[in-house]
């Protein structure tokens, strides 16, 4: 080969090498250029769907079923008295005031539709010759009470006006949570604020009003639900009396605190689900549960609950279902897909759950400071059109107790 041919061959080889280097540089600098749009993997729940019109209301007896025969008889006497709502006093034999207090606790916890008995002093009593005279303190009577009952029934029915037509229990529970968060305001001192009527008709309630409204709507939708009492720590307030819910989904029990899901100053949408379907371990981070009923407790007058099932699974923890989970920093399909969906909806935020198998603080630091989030945002922008580009001035917020990292989204 003469020198001229050699030079030409070398020039061609050099050019080919430069082109190959440029191609490789392009591929490695933008690994998403030739990659199909990521699709978020979906957790298979296999929950049974039931048309709204085919759902049968549940008449709750969760607390009654745990009473002794004697206390159950008192419970049934209360039921008969309040079923007719006639007022007046009635007598009980072989019952102490502690027995009646326990039976009333069970009845009121089972019946969120009963809103016309005073929450401060529900009844008065008089003991004579081994018998107990009871008189309930009504806050509404006669035609006014009948009208209010109709209002509550209509409000409970109206709540489902825009519910999914063929939901499973989880979808319907989320709808009920959202309905109360959107339509009820936390307000102390409001009329009937401790009742389901206050929450659903007046749109103003405190924790027990939220909880009884949630219980009533779940019950009407065929979902087993109870109330539970204890104390909680919220901001600077410690050991404050509190009520929330227990809900049964697909055979398992979970805690749900709709009051805490309805935070007036919530910065991000994710906060309405922080206390939806959590287990005992998680709820006990900031809630304390009153002990379960025992004859000793109800005789001493100490606070107690009648019904406390074990909540031991996180299978339907809603944060894990609703948001993408970071379980491996090098497997990014779910996170990019979540950012794409958020950008196309022009959402204000995108939320990620850090898997409990990863160290939360260390993982968040890597995501923020080692450019994982920036890379995922740049990748998401590649799949979105020009009107849905996430800007570079995004901020990240951490919620350690919930293993959540929230990305506040700004758009160019």
Q: What is the structure's pLDDT at 388? A: 83
Structure tokens at 393: 């001035």
For residue 67, pLDDT over 60 is answered with yes
Strands 237-249 and 252-256, by their bridges, are antiparallel
For residue 18, pLDDT over 80 is answered with no
pLDDT band for position 17 (50/70/90)? low
Structure tokens at 384: 């979105």
Structure tokens at 28: 């490695």
Q: What is the structure's pLDDT at 20? A: 55
Q: What is the structure's pLDDT at 127? A: 87
* Class (C level, CATH) for 143-313: alpha beta
Q: What is the structure's pLDDT at 29? A: 53
Report the percentage of the chain scoring pLDDT > 90. Answer: 75
The fold of 64-136 is: Ribosomal Protein S8; Chain: A, domain 1 (3.30.1370)
> Residue 332 in contact with residue 376, Cβ under 8 Å?
yes
Q: What is the structure's pLDDT at 26? A: 47
- Determine which helix (DSSP H) or strand (DSSP E) holds 405, and give its type and residue range: strand 404-408
pLDDT band for position 40 (50/70/90)? confident
For residue 394, pLDDT over 90 is answered with no
> Residue 380 in contact with residue 352, Cβ under 8 Å?
no
At 107-142, the pLDDT tens digits run 999 999 999 999 999 999 998 887 899 999 999 999
The pTM (predicted TM-score) of the whole model is 0.90
64-136 and 143-313, same CATH topology = no
At 161-172, the pLDDT tens digits run 999 999 999 999
> Residue 254 in contact with residue 218, Cβ under 8 Å?
no
Report the percentage of the chain scoring pLDDT > 70. Answer: 90
- Helix (H, G, I), strand (E, B), or coil: what is residue 407? strand
Domain boundaries, the chain: 64-136, 143-313, 323-408
Across the chain, mean pLDDT equals: 90
Report the distance separating Cα 164 and Cα 142, nearest Å. Answer: 37
At 276-305, the pLDDT tens digits run 999 999 999 999 999 998 887 777 778 999
For residue 23, pLDDT over 50 is answered with no
Average pLDDT over residues 227-235: 90
Rg over alpha carbons for the chain, rounded to the nearest Å, is: 29
Tell me which DSSP letter residue 396 carries: E
Q: What is the structure's pLDDT at 5? A: 62
Burial of residue 165, with CB atoms counted within 10 A of its CB: 0-12 exposed, 13-18 middle, 19 or more buried: exposed
For residue 384, pLDDT over 80 is answered with yes
Contacts of 128 by beta carbon, 8 Å cutoff, 6+ apart: none
Candidates 81, 77, 78, 76; CA nearest to 65 is 76
Average pLDDT over residues 32-41: 78
pLDDT band for position 2 (50/70/90)? low
């Amino acid at each position: 080969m003469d020198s001229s041919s050699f030079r030409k061959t070398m020039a061609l080889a050099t050019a080919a090498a430069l082109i190959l280097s440029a191609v490789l540089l392009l591929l490695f600098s933008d690994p998403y250029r030739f990659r199909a749009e990521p699709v978020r993997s979906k957790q298979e729940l296999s929950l049974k769907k039931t048309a709204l019109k085919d759902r049968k209301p549940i008449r709750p007896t969760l607390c009654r079923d745990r009473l002794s025969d004697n206390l159950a008889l008192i419970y049934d006497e209360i039921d008969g008295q309040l079923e007719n709502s006639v007022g007046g006093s009635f007598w009980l034999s072989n019952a102490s005031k502690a027995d009646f207090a326990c039976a009333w606790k069970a009845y009121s916890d089972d019946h969120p539709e009963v809103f016309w008995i005073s929450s401060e002093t529900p009844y008065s009593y008089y003991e004579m010759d081994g018998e107990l005279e009871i008189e309930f303190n009504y806050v509404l009577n006669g035609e006014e009470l009948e009208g209010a009952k109709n209002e509550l029934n209509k409000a409970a029915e109206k709540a489902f006006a825009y519910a999914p037509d063929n939901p499973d229990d989880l979808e319907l529970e989320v709808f009920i949570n959202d309905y109360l968060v959107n339509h009820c305001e936390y307000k102390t001192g409001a009329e009937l604020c401790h009742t389901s009527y206050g929450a659903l008709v007046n749109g103003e309630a405190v924790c027990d009003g939220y909880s009884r409204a949630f219980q009533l709507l779940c019950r009407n939708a065929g979902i087993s639900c109870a109330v539970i009492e204890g104390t909680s720590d919220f901001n600077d307030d410690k050991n404050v009396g509190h009520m929330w819910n227990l809900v049964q989904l697909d055979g398992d029990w979970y805690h749900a605190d709709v009051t805490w899901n309805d935070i007036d100053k919530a910065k991000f949408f994710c906060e309405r689900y922080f206390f939806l379907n959590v287990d005992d371990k998680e709820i006990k981070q900031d809630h304390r549960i009153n002990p379960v009923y025992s004859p000793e407790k109800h005789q001493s007058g100490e606070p107690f609950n009648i019904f406390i099932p074990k909540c031991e699974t996180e299978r339907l923890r809603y944060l894990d279902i609703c948001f993408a989970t970071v379980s491996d920093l090098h497997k990014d399909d779910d996170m990019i897909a979540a950012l794409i969906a958020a950008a196309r909806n022009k959402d204000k935020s995108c939320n990620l759950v850090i898997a409990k198998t990863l160290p939360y603080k260390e993982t968040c630091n890597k995501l923020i400071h080692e450019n994982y989030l920036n890379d995922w945002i740049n990748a998401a922008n590649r799949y979105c059109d020009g009107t849905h580009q996430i800007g570079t001035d995004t901020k990240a917020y951490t919620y350690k107790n919930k293993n959540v990292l929230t990305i506040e989204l700004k758009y160019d």
